[in-house]
Structure 1
């Protein structure tokens, strides 16, 4: 499993590619208490590793309404070649971890953000005017300097997605298990919408503990489709694995799509 390390609040933290700690235990059902979960045996303030979930003011997800148009937003260029990844059931989501030598990345303006993993939530975490989509896909990118960008793809029921089926068919059913031996090729680009240049963007956080802020969020305005059967199969792994929308607290959601 790929591990990325960076500095957070002067504390060196090792973040597994699922961007969720294995300890202490947390669940989506108890998300209102994430900030008060204690890591017994750690000194103050390290004994509350998820404190940002409670005290952070730029948290994600959000309701993508009340947007402002700006045609000068940096363009996005996903460069996601095929890979032979690992299929990982984190216990919170099904996830695809890219290989250690994977060359895929997201270009934002003139900067590159390497793709380290992508995973699914059902229903969607981001909503529009309070309305959720059937599911949501998050492409997680982390640079060597620790800066992160997440590209969110909303999902609705429609035509079947062949690439999603490949992922579902090779995903371990048991939580905490990673399938690294399948040698199956996955092309993440086939999980992107046809028109990739229109999106919402805002400053946010991880949507699971430790809820780290400073994340550049981009959510495509065009959803992709999966079949009803695929949605049911996706939910057979995890359902309602979402965080509820968080207050904007003065943030502005921008879009380049009229």
Structure 2
């Protein structure tokens, strides 16, 4: 998940701003250190691609449809990517992970996560290739993509994991509903490079270190 543009933190340990220090960099980020809980109707909508300095983010400025979880509607606002993955399945940390970020009217957050391993290029990222190249190494850069349909993001999966966690960057806000698709997709090394270069430090990653479960329940739902 994401932090606001311009907020200073790092994925390595240099400068005292690494993951083990996030909770002390800003009072609003305290949960990074102390936290214990770390049906879709999508529509095509106008979008902008942005390099936040920590990740590459595609934003739908007026939302792009919604999902409903336990009777609450969450509007899709953006998708961004981390390398390597921030979740592990059966002990495997994959090469990349996408987060589709949704928010309810009262500010609750739900994220759908897609894991990727190296292989054939991802079609959705391929459709953004020229835009990605325009912003990948330029912190704060934006490019107008135009109308983008989130249904073009392959989210078919035989099942999913679900748990209650947190944002994975400061302020590490908790009570986020996470849905991790069990189907692992493929991404080319060249596409992963375009995502990873956006990180504004020398760590070579924009993924938070793995966090302890702290007794949280992770459920597996099989769709077929």
**Conserved in 2, the CA contact under 8 Å of 1:193 and 1:223?**
no
Q: Kindly report which structure 2 residues correspond to 1:212-251, keeping only aligned pairs within 5 A, or say none.
A: 212-238=173-199, 239-251=204-216
Q: Which runs of 5+ in 2 are unaligned?
A: 13-17
In the alignment, is residue 178 of structure 1 matched against residue 166 of structure 2? Answer: no
Q: Which runs of 5+ in 1 are unaligned?
A: 1-17, 39-47, 60-76
How many Å separate the matches in 2 of 1:143 and 1:83?
Answer: 18
Secondary structure of the 1:237 match is coil
How many Å separate the matches in 1 of 2:173 and 2:93?
Answer: 23
In the alignment, is residue 25 of structure 1 matched against residue 8 of structure 2? Answer: yes
In the alignment, is residue 49 of structure 1 matched against residue 11 of structure 2? Answer: no
**Conserved in 2, the CA contact under 8 Å of 1:201 and 1:253?**
yes
How many Å separate the matches in 1 of 2:126 and 2:210?
Answer: 29
Q: Kindly report which structure 2 residues correspond to 1:173-212, keeping only aligned pairs within 5 A, or say none.
A: 173=136, 174-180=138-144, 182-183=145-146, 185-195=147-157, 198-212=159-173
Find the partner of 1:155 among 93, 99, 116: 116
Deviates further, 211-220 or 122-131: 122-131
Deviates further, 86-95 or 128-137: 128-137
Superposed CA deviations along residues 216-238 of structure 1, whole A, max 9, x for unmatched, are 11000112222333233333334
**Conserved in 2, the CA contact under 8 Å of 1:168 and 1:234?**
no
How many Å separate the matches in 1 of 2:220 and 2:109?
Answer: 19
Aligned to 1:85: 47
RMSD, aligned α-carbons: 2.0
Task: Give the drift of 1:23.
Answer: 5.6
Aligned to 1:13: none
Aligned length: 211
TM-score normalised by the chain length of structure 1? 0.75
Task: Give the drift of 1:169.
Answer: 2.0
Secondary structure of the 2:176 match is strand
Q: Kindly report which structure 2 residues correspond to 1:10-21, keeping only aligned pairs within 5 A, or say none.
A: 19-21=2-4
